[in-house]
Amino acid sequence: MRTTSTTDIRCKQCSALLAKRDRDGLSIRRGDMQTTVTGGDFTVAVTCYRCRALNVVTSRPPQPPAAAAHAPPTAA
* Binding of residue 48 to Zn ion (CB under 5 A): yes
Site for Zn ion in 7-26 (CB under 5 A): 11, 13-14, 16
CB contact at 8 A, 15 and 49: no
* Binding of residue 50 to Zn ion (CB under 5 A): yes
Question: How many whole angstroms separate alpha carbon 36 and alpha carbon 57?
Answer: 13
Largest CA distance in the chain: 46
CB nearer Zn ion, residue 28 or residue 53 = 53
Report which DSSP code applies to 76: -
* Binding of residue 54 to Zn ion (CB under 5 A): no
Residues binding Zn ion: number (CB under 5 A): 8
